[in-house]
Amino acid sequence: MLQILKLGPFSFYTFGLLFAASICLGTALFLRYFREHSIRVNPVSLSTTLIVAGFLGAKLDNFLVLSTYLLHRDTAGLDFFRGGYTYLGCVLGGVLAGVAYIHLHRMPWLRSLDSLYSIAPAYALGRVGCFLAGDGDYGQPSTLPWAVAFPHGLTPSLVRVHPTMLYSSLWELAIFLILVRVDRRQSRPGVLFGSYLLLSSAGRFSVEFLSRNLVLAWRMTEAQVVSLVLFTIGCVTLIAVSTLPGKAIALLARPTLDSAKRLRKMHDGSVACVVHL
């Protein structure tokens, strides 16, 4: 563990450093993806949108989880601005902002959503920050050789536990390496988006069985509930892009407003043909 990094007279919290670094890394990888796929974006506008949305999502998710847990307890100590962050909230905030950005700037829907896998290394880096801080996001007690204790963590533990943060980190890196290869093979638009949602959510859902996170609903943690939703979206996306005709996929790969109009025309034309027959 290394909670504080000292550089000469300066001291930095590693959690905060890696949180900021993960946002910057994710933004850089998104820009790389758009550049390689010849999708025009405004780097400053996109970067600002993702960074602000990621920060607000991280704060809001932490506040909501603590509010739910302390619902019948003393909530006087809750403070939105002085509270912590969650990486899941950061990811969800960035994704929602990205979807809005795609729509407002009339970017190609599926190809733009495929960029989501670029967030994997950033998410992995952020989880390393959780590990170094020993922030209580570790798992249950374990006797495995790689189990670790956090005697000086933000949430100390003298018992050796599962380093679930590193499990998630390694899983995200593996997903990124796999999907980079898929991307280079010029897969159908939407395949990368669906694959990332499916693989990432499956990994997080599984790791949560080893975690100590709060159980909120249906005997599941918040991360497991969200993972189920994302897993379903990923499955539906992969089935849709695999079964839709090539012409429909091509239209969805175009800018959003143009795609909607053309798909509506295709639908109206098919209905007219049925009526005529």
Q: Report how far apart, in Å, the C-alpha atoms of 228 and of each of 28, 30, 120, 180, 273 are.
A: 28, 25, 18, 24, 39
Q: Report how far apart, in Å, the C-alpha atoms of 138 and of each of 70, 111, 207, 224 are.
A: 21, 35, 10, 16
Q: pLDDT by residue (tens digit) across 215-226?
A: 877 888 878 888
Statement to judge: residues 57 and 108 lie in one domain: yes
The dihedral region occupied by 207, where left means phi > 0, alpha psi between -120 and 50, and beta the remainder, is: alpha
51: in domain: yes
Q: How many domains does the chain have?
A: 3
Top mean-pLDDT range of 31-35, 94-98, 223-227: 31-35
**Secondary structure class of 137 (helix, strand, coil):** coil
Statement to judge: residues 39 and 84 lie in one domain: yes
Q: How far apart are CA 176 and CA 199, in angstroms?
A: 10
At residue 265, does pLDDT exceed 70?
Answer: no
Q: pLDDT by residue (tens digit) across 201-217?
A: 999 999 999 998 878 77
146: in domain: no
Statement to judge: residues 262 and 184 lie in one domain: no
Q: Span 233-257, mean pLDDT?
A: 75
25: in domain: yes
Statement to judge: residues 225 and 120 lie in one domain: no
Q: Quick one: tokens of 234?
A: 């990923």
In the block, residue with structure tokens 């005709």:
245
C-beta of residue 142 within 8 angstroms of C-beta of residue 161: yes
Statement to judge: residues 126 and 222 lie in one domain: no
pLDDT of residue 273: 35
**Secondary structure class of 143 (helix, strand, coil):** coil
pLDDT of residue 72: 46
Statement to judge: residues 100 and 17 lie in one domain: yes
One-character DSSP codes across 66-91: HHHHTTTS--TT--TTTS---HHHHH
Q: Which amino acid is at 99?
A: V
Q: Which domain holds residue 259?
A: 244-277
Q: pLDDT by residue (tens digit) across 113-143?
A: 999 999 999 989 988 988 888 877 899 999 9
Statement to judge: residues 117 and 213 lie in one domain: no
Q: Above pLDDT 70, what percent of the chain?
A: 76
Q: How far apart are CA 172 and CA 127, in angstroms?
A: 10
pLDDT of residue 80: 46
Quote the pTM value: 0.80
1: in domain: no
- In 104-151, beta strands by DSSP E: 148-150
Residues 6+ apart with CB under 8 A from 12: 4, 5, 6
Statement to judge: residues 215 and 188 lie in one domain: yes
Statement to judge: residues 19 and 61 lie in one domain: yes
Statement to judge: residues 184 and 268 lie in one domain: no
C-beta of residue 151 within 8 angstroms of C-beta of residue 158: yes
153: in domain: no
At residue 56, does pLDDT exceed 90?
Answer: no
60: in domain: yes
270: in domain: yes
In the block, residue with structure tokens 């590693």:
14
pLDDT band at residue 238, thresholds of 50, 70 and 90?
Answer: very high
